[in-house]
Structure 1
Amino acid sequence: MKLTRKSNAAPVAGKPALGISRRQFMKHAGIATGGIAAASLMGTGMMRRVEAKEVPHDAPIEVKRTICSACAVGCGLYAEVQNGVWTGQEPAFDHPFNAGGHCAKGAALREHGHGEKRLKYPMKLVDGKWKKLSWEDAINEVGDQMLSIRKESGPDSVYFMGSAKFSNEGCYMYRKLAAMWGTNNVDHSARICHSTTVAGVANTWGYGAQTNSFNDIQNANAIFLIGANPAEAHPVAMQHILIAKERKHAKIIVVDPRFSRTAAHSDLHCAIRPGTDIPFIYGMLWHIFENGWEDKTFIKQRVFEMESIRAEVKKFPPKEVENITGVSEVDVYQAAKLMADNRPGTVIWCMGGTQHHVGNANTRAYCILQLALGNMGVSGGGTNIFRGHDNVQGATDLGLLFDNLPGYYGLTTGAWAHWTHVWDLDMAWVKNRFDQTPYLGKDPMTTPGIPCSRWHDGVLEEKSKLAQKDNIRMAFFWGQSVNTETRQRDVRDALDKMDTVVVVDPFPTMAGVMHRRKNGVYLLPAATQFETEGSVSNSGRSIQWREKVIEPLFESKTDLEIMYRLAQKLGIDEQYTKRIAKENGLLVIEDITREINRGMWTIGMTGQSPERIKLHTQNWGTFSNKTLEAAGGPAKGKPMVYLGHVGARQKRNILVPKFCITNQNT
């Protein structure tokens, strides 16, 4: 019998037809002896011939300047765009922060512009199934729900979870939206990471931020890292540390329970027991005071209450410190001597220092060490606090907080009067947006809201125990989800209990799926920061401008457009944008930057005009990798847009204020 040979060519790609179910595949794959055996079970429907598509390769390549969003170092990036598609990227070799350096996280940025896992259009959960919506319907339904809840329960029953991924302008407008809605129930991820830094450092220097710049670390003679592992978490920042080590022979001391990749570069690694940061620092101070290594002149001229610390430190002699921390007397002494003999020295910390129930006191202790050594107000000194999100410092500066208005103005009547003046609004109108009934004896307008680490308590706690009219019934999770919180059972229960959950994000997040709901969840596709423009502040509070790399993918919209559409639906758009121009129905982002500068007097954020930030971004190659000052070009002789700190460069002749170190254990 003659056999007819059939072609082995796969069919042309068409509609997928797997031929077996996922359950069958997993079952067969599990018992198969190898990948080939498993593949043979798929059938020809899974294997389809690929046909090449003609793509013009001669289209011009447009290069955009943007800033990496992986962490808060603020690395410059050249994004290559061809026919509106983000086709390539290169780290900027002429950028003063990264000088061509890049990390694995930053190398994946282009994936944001391809959209394989992106949320493509507005969706709503209906009877357990996702239904596609138009933007008009989505805004109307979400807005109607907000207005209904406001009428029944008051404005505090809507929670505004914000994001460290917003631009500075996005952070500001989101806080402003919450204010004009009439609530202080607004917050972002700094609450979960560096809020202890903000409290501890602000109680020492006056406000909580990194005192120097990444680049200034190159001028240090000693680098003390505690609870930080930049070799893995901030690889480009590690370059500045290694430059100091190679060029200045800076001594590196790493205090970490683990022998990390950063510790591998250290001159001294001290493996403390977790949670013993303060005894270790006090052990160092014991040696510093015992040997007379403290900077007596600096303390006399600039520091309050160091004698109180000296008395407390006497309770931590070497044997006691070794018993508490697990670090030998010799190593504690050596850490103190290295810092004393190699000034100026800088102290660097990150999450390992803050994520403790005594995190505030930890950060105070780090500051006290620098005060004792006189390492503040000098180049190469300071307390350098590495942030995790690209704009977590900007979000904090711009008041995306439950207890502050932009610029750390607080929530006092005077603070509100200042910002209503900036907004050119009547104070009475803004006040009337808030609930008019005091709860637990407190005025809602001047009472801190609920932090993002406890928003679920606002949903689940008894109404009578809340300083607001009713429980939280609706929440926006805008650029930040819920998987960073520890009490996941309570989070899930809260997601289930609320009337409405609104996720605004480029990607579907945990907030949209970890609940057990069948209805009342909205997913709204926000554009990434590479699909819009605006300013961003790195850990050192250097401000840079991101150019738009590509147009928003699919049906996504920018944060500012979504906020503006919501404001229109809520009937507050006129007040919300009173001093901000519109073009083609969208807000002019430069006007938002100017409004920010109009009001940010407390931290000196008043000269950062959009024109100046853009000029510096377009000429970032002219700025020194060591001093951040322009050697030539249109900004010659000027520093990169930067908010001056107490640890700023000596040549700027900063007058260091007196520092207070009382209430160390509060």
Structure 2
Amino acid sequence: MLRKKTNGVARRPQRNTLLTEAASASVDRRAFLRGSGLVIGGLSAIAATGGTVTQATAQTVAPKPVELKKSVCTHCSVGCTVIAEVSDGVWIGQEPGWDSPFNLGAHCAKGASVREHAHGERRLKYPMKKEGGEWKRISWEQAIDEIGDQMLAIREESGPDSVYWLGSAKHSNEQAYLFRKFAAYWGTNNVDHQARICHSTTVAGVANTWGYGAMTNSYNDIHNSKAILIIGGNPAEAHPVSLLHVLRAKEQNNAPLIVCDPRFTRTAAHADEYVRFRPGSDVALVWGILWHIFENGWEDKEFIRTRVWGMDQIREEVARWTPDEVERVTGAPESQLRRVAMQLANNRPGTLIWCMGGTQHTNGNNNTRAYCILQLALGNMGVAGGGTNIFRGHDNVQGATDLGVLADTLPGYYGLSAGAWGHWARVWEEDPEWLKGRFATMKGADGKDKQMMNLTGIPVSRWIDGVLEAKENLEQPDNTRAMVLWGHAPNSQTRMTEMKTAMEKLDLLVVVDPYPTVSAILHDRTDGCYLLPAATQFETRGSVTASNRSLQWREQVVDPLFESKPDHVILAMFSKKFGFDDRIFRNISMDGELEPNVEDLTREFNRGMWTIGYTAQSPERLKLHMENQHTFDRTTLQAVGGPADGDYYGMPWPAWGTPEMNHPGTPNLYDMSKPVAEGGLTFRARFGVERDGQNLLADGVYSAGSEIQDGYPEFTMQMLIDLGWDKDLTAYERRMIEYVAGFIKERPEMGAEVGEQSQTGPYPSDFADAIGGVNWKTDLSGGIQRVAIAHGCAPFGNAKARAVVWTFPDPVPIHREPLYTNRRDLVADYPTYADKLFWRVPTMYESIQKNDFSKDYPIILTSGRLVEYEGGGDETRSNPWLAELQQDMFVEINPRDANNLGVRDGSQVWVEGPEGGKVKVMAMVTERVGEGVAFMPFHFGGHYQGEDLRSKYPDGADPYVLGESANVAQTYGYDSVTQMQETKATLCKIMPA
């Protein structure tokens, strides 16, 4: 808690009114406890205001039994278990999951108060539309009909790409999968979610280094770390329960905790070494540390020789980053970085943790790859206690990313190639030509038809430009005309002044959320806006993926409140309206008329997600793990006895093969000390076998028990044939491979025997290549994976990690100055990129950076999180427990800057960005930030450039706490690979209000 609100912003009277009303009458204690989340804080307030509480009368009826339901917190990605106490359909109490290996009986402030979301005092309660400037209650039938008719009209006039489907990190895995499938059946790749603006640069950078774009180890594995480096992250506030695991290593292993951050955070307060550096100079800082490692010969030479490609080119770049140059660019002194390098070298294995402070930059992909390269140089990969432990943001942002709610891929990171569509058409048992016909085509610059089916969509970070950019500048047939914001906080995005304009220009704006969000009030629309109440994840069931890749199953706690509906039900309603419900659900049973069976959705993505091993985590196995949490070791995450004996908790992906194979999951990626069948793994052979005449495969190293005792490429049917291992395939597996290759037309059923068209000998020449080309990620039987693992091999091959990514704008990560920089002396040495068209939209770099804004906007502006709130904050600011803790939006200003500006602590100030957006907030004068740097949290909304927008919310659905959105003052800037937004290094000016 930063401070208790004591003065006159409008939201305190709103909260006082609610409590005063509760205190003005005699209250039956039992009814009050059941009906309110204000059990402790509320009763205290009532006592203070003189209300009375009557003793409940004696009950003659036996008390209702209390059921315990096990769910998972819906805030951050740690994956804390919540035990809900339910009586007569009412959620009456909660406890943390004492048996959970993740939260170990602990909760943060947000987790401890999640019950409030299922009471829903400030929830969106029924469908609404804006009509004549007023919110009007309507039925679900009317809402779906009116929205659907308008969308179909837009589709007819402008094509399917003119409707944008923005999904959510708050979906369950099943809902996320269905959302991406739904977008495919609608006929667009204009589909995305929050991962784009939080960790897209992580996924791209990490996946292109060693194969998978995810956390390599786990929160629990940090127990084994001998050193901990946190850069661009503040887990003490963003992932509070994770500190249980970090501090255990610090205390039990005497592991030095090193925190590198422009701001002295609550995490930094725990550090043995705190390194303050200039925002936006991460690559320079990491190269400065690596300079000392190389200079002193502290790198792991054998690990580099056998498991890393391209480190020589890294050495050449690092050699340029002398201590003097590093200090000139970052502000970090030589003596401190040498000390950091020595601590990392002397305390191995060490883990490296990062969050959005490292990702949200125009060169964020360079940052994340630099972090990886540091760990490769130290030999800290593929070992317990090592790894890159990337703390994801929302509770299921990892799962929603894996399930493909993205503009550039289908589920499982298959991409958008013809082969990827062919694979998923087979999984869906869909006619690929029908799917193709759902998408538009357009003439490319070369005059040839361009299939939109194979072209990445507009990312969520740029949807504004899809609306506002001139049509001729877009790489799609027409502008975005309808926008669906599903479980998304628009105030978590930059350029909000332009966003307001874009919202007003749309033909149709649809919000699907348990809360109205800033989407309901930012714009000045008088019509064409709909609000659809979504149920929370406590009102449905399904799986969710924690940051460490473990899947957990949520039980349904209560029925959907008010008129809300779960996301998969709403998708089914739209599918029926658009006429493809019979196709999209052909293999999904219905629990009701329009309620897809959740377990069937799990089983369907199990049948297709071979790339990342989302195939063995059946609903039955996931439920078994949740029921037996107490059997899993708190450090290794492996079950010791019990019905899940040998499994790793949640079967962290990849969990190879079919559920019947019983693969235990992979706790630490790339750990060759264990057999693949027992959770071991190599680096993925994803980038070919040779580059510039050099071998890209591992050199003489392999996972325990491997029959191939060297590097090897990814497995195909041809590789099995060449090795003589194809004889290990079952009849069903061989027949399915033949089906995938097109050799047989009829899809085989599980257990089918070899028929006349199936054979074990040489195949006809016209089919040999097709059959031989079926690989570990397209074989629907899982047979290729099963056989490879039976011989001790990783299905995806055994390669070197690559330190150089030749397909990226910067093959070797380099420092580039932010677009808005006050270090004009560095621009010539470290310029940004040339302007370019990618992801369908023109993107500016040098045309912005060439302008000097620093004279008028001299202060660096960065942003981040608070422990009390999550994301855009609509949900948590609507929670009275949390609203009581943090009631003011603020800006942190260094005392020297404050004195020079004439600003006092607690006074109101304007923070203005160079693009004209400004916010009126409270000043917090503190040395948390360095001189010349300001910080704002991004969880607030409901005020806009000094105006209180509370009256624009539907009645009773306004959050308790409102405030300015930090992103109104943030500026343009996007990563050169993923279109990640820049929020950590722009400029501003601060003035007394």
Note whether the superposition's TM-score is higher than 0.5.
Answer: yes
Is there any run of 5+ residues in structure 1 with no aligned partner, and where? Answer: 1-28
Tell me the TM-score normalised to structure 2 length: 0.62
Residue of structure 2 aligned with 1:377, choices 377, 382, 387:
382
Is the Cα contact below 8 Å between 2:165 and 2:192 reproduced in 1?
A: yes
- C-alpha distance after superposition, 1:186-237 (max 9, x if no partner): 0001111111111111110122111111111111101111011111111111
Is the Cα contact below 8 Å between 2:671 and 2:682 reproduced in 1?
A: no
Partner of 2:503: 495
Is the Cα contact below 8 Å between 1:222 and 1:342 reproduced in 2?
A: yes
Residue of structure 1 aligned with 2:25, choices 43, 49, 52:
49
Partner of 2:803: 661
Is the Cα contact below 8 Å between 1:156 and 1:468 reproduced in 2?
A: yes
Secondary structure of the 1:269 match is: strand
Alpha-carbon distance between aligned partners in 2 of 1:271 and 1:630, rounded to the nearest angstrom? 41
Residue of structure 2 aligned with 1:620, choices 620, 629, 636:
629
| One-letter code aligned to 1:529 | Q
Is the Cα contact below 8 Å between 1:501 and 1:512 reproduced in 2?
A: no
Partner of 1:479: 487
Q: Does 1:455 align with 2:597?
A: no
Distance 1:152 1:548, change over 3 A: same
| One-letter code aligned to 1:646 | L
Distance 1:157 1:75, change over 3 A: same
Q: Does 1:517 align with 2:525?
A: yes
Q: Does 1:83 align with 2:110?
A: no
For residues 578-597 of structure 1, what are the structure 2 equivalents within 5 Å? 578-585=586-593, 586-597=595-606
| One-letter code aligned to 1:268 | E
Is the Cα contact below 8 Å between 2:670 and 2:680 reproduced in 1?
A: no
Q: How many angstroms does 1:264 deviate by? A: 1.8
Secondary structure of the 2:188 match is: coil
Partner of 1:198: 203
| One-letter code aligned to 1:108 | S
Per mean C-alpha deviation after superposition, the further-off stretch among 434-443 and 146-155 is 434-443
Residue of structure 1 aligned with 2:138, choices 133, 142, 145:
133
Q: How many angstroms does 1:377 deviate by? A: 0.7
Q: How many angstroms does 1:543 deviate by? A: 0.3
Q: Does 1:642 align with 2:784?
A: no
Alpha-carbon distance between aligned partners in 1 of 2:261 and 2:23, rounded to the nearest angstrom? 51
Partner of 2:916: none
Partner of 2:170: 165
Distance 1:199 1:46, change over 3 A: closer
- C-alpha distance after superposition, 1:27-79 (max 9, x if no partner): xx99xxxx9xxx9x9xx999843353875782111110000111000011101
Is there any run of 5+ residues in structure 2 with no aligned partner, and where? Answer: 1-6, 32-58, 654-665, 684-798, 805-810, 814-975, 977-993
Which structure has more relative contact order (CA 8 Å, sep 6+)? It is 1
Secondary structure of the 1:417 match is: helix
Q: How many angstroms does 1:380 deviate by? A: 0.7
Residue of structure 2 aligned with 1:318, choices 323, 326, 334:
323
Partner of 2:706: none
Tell me the TM-score normalised to structure 1 length: 0.92
| One-letter code aligned to 2:493 | E
Is the Cα contact below 8 Å between 2:262 and 2:279 reproduced in 1?
A: yes
Alpha-carbon distance between aligned partners in 2 of 1:282 and 1:216, rounded to the nearest angstrom? 26
Partner of 2:418: 413
Partner of 1:7: none
Alpha-carbon distance between aligned partners in 2 of 1:361 and 1:45, rounded to the nearest angstrom? 55
- C-alpha distance after superposition, 1:414-444 (max 9, x if no partner): 1110111110001000000111444555311
Partner of 2:258: 253
For residues 2-401 of structure 1, what are the structure 2 equivalents within 5 Å? 48-50=24-26, 52=28, 58-401=63-406
Q: How many angstroms does 1:650 deviate by? A: 4.3
Distance 1:112 1:126, change over 3 A: same
Partner of 1:23: none
Is the Cα contact below 8 Å between 1:286 and 1:316 reproduced in 2?
A: yes
| One-letter code aligned to 2:624 | L
- C-alpha distance after superposition, 1:474-531 (max 9, x if no partner): 1111001311111112111111111111100001111122111111111100000000
Alpha-carbon distance between aligned partners in 2 of 1:439 and 1:392, rounded to the nearest angstrom? 34
Is the Cα contact below 8 Å between 2:670 and 2:682 reproduced in 1?
A: no
Q: Does 1:570 align with 2:718?
A: no
Is the Cα contact below 8 Å between 1:382 and 1:647 reproduced in 2?
A: no
Per mean C-alpha deviation after superposition, the further-off stretch among 113-122 and 653-662 is 653-662
Is the Cα contact below 8 Å between 2:439 and 2:452 reproduced in 1?
A: yes
Partner of 1:3: none
Partner of 2:478: 470
Alpha-carbon distance between aligned partners in 1 of 2:108 and 2:486, rounded to the nearest angstrom? 27
Alpha-carbon distance between aligned partners in 2 of 1:347 and 1:411, rounded to the nearest angstrom? 32
Per mean C-alpha deviation after superposition, the further-off stretch among 313-322 and 115-124 is 313-322
Alpha-carbon distance between aligned partners in 2 of 1:151 and 1:88, rounded to the nearest angstrom? 50
Is the Cα contact below 8 Å between 1:527 and 1:558 reproduced in 2?
A: yes
| One-letter code aligned to 1:464 | E
Alpha-carbon distance between aligned partners in 2 of 1:45 and 1:308, rounded to the nearest angstrom? 69
Residue of structure 2 aligned with 1:404, choices 402, 405, 409:
409
Distance 1:170 1:439, change over 3 A: farther
Secondary structure of the 2:543 match is: strand
Alpha-carbon distance between aligned partners in 2 of 1:52 and 1:507, rounded to the nearest angstrom? 29
Distance 1:475 1:101, change over 3 A: same
| One-letter code aligned to 1:608 | Q
Secondary structure of the 2:552 match is: strand
Secondary structure of the 1:590 match is: helix
Structure 1 or 2: more helix by fraction: 1
Q: Does 1:548 align with 2:556?
A: yes
| One-letter code aligned to 1:556 | S
Distance 1:615 1:507, change over 3 A: same
Distance 1:209 1:556, change over 3 A: same
Secondary structure of the 1:636 match is: coil
- C-alpha distance after superposition, 1:257-283 (max 9, x if no partner): 222221222121111122221111111
Is the Cα contact below 8 Å between 1:125 and 1:520 reproduced in 2?
A: yes
Is the Cα contact below 8 Å between 1:344 and 1:380 reproduced in 2?
A: yes
Partner of 1:611: 620
Give the share of equivalent positions with the same residue, in percent: 57
Partner of 1:504: 512
Alpha-carbon distance between aligned partners in 1 of 2:442 and 2:318, rounded to the nearest angstrom? 49
Q: How many angstroms does 1:649 deviate by? A: 8.4
Is the Cα contact below 8 Å between 1:219 and 1:379 reproduced in 2?
A: yes
Query: Number of aligned pairs?
Result: 629
Is the Cα contact below 8 Å between 1:439 and 1:469 reproduced in 2?
A: no
Q: How many angstroms does 1:369 deviate by? A: 0.2
Secondary structure of the 2:124 match is: coil
Alpha-carbon distance between aligned partners in 1 of 2:800 and 2:22, rounded to the nearest angstrom? 71
Partner of 1:527: 535
Is the Cα contact below 8 Å between 1:158 and 1:473 reproduced in 2?
A: yes
Alpha-carbon distance between aligned partners in 2 of 1:254 and 1:45, rounded to the nearest angstrom? 47
Partner of 2:734: none
Per mean C-alpha deviation after superposition, the further-off stretch among 440-449 and 238-247 is 440-449
Is the Cα contact below 8 Å between 1:217 and 1:346 reproduced in 2?
A: yes
Secondary structure of the 1:454 match is: helix
Q: How many angstroms does 1:311 deviate by? A: 1.3
Residue of structure 2 aligned with 1:561, choices 553, 558, 569:
569
